[in-house]
Amino acid sequence: MASNRIAIINEEIQKELSSLLRKVKDPRVADLMISITRVETTPDLRYAKIYVSFLQEDKAQDALKGLKSAGGYLRRELGRTLNLRYTPELVWELDDSITYGAKMLKLINSLEVKHDEQSDEV
Distances (CA, A) of 61 to 19, 29, 89, 118: 21, 11, 20, 42
Q: What is the pLDDT of residue 79?
A: 92
Tens-digit pLDDT profile for residues 68-111 = 999 999 999 999 998 888 899 999 999 887 778 888 888 898 88
Neighbours of 103 (CB within 10 A): 11
Q: Which residue has the higher pLDDT, 17 or 114?
A: 17
The domain 2-96 having CATH identifier 3.30.300.20: the answer here is yes
Q: Report pTM.
A: 0.79
Asked if 71 and 92 count as a contact pair (C-beta separation under 8 A), the reply is: yes
* Mean pLDDT, all residues of the chain: 87
Q: What is the pLDDT of residue 18?
A: 92
Neighbours of 63 (CB within 10 A): 23
Mean pLDDT of 4-23: 92
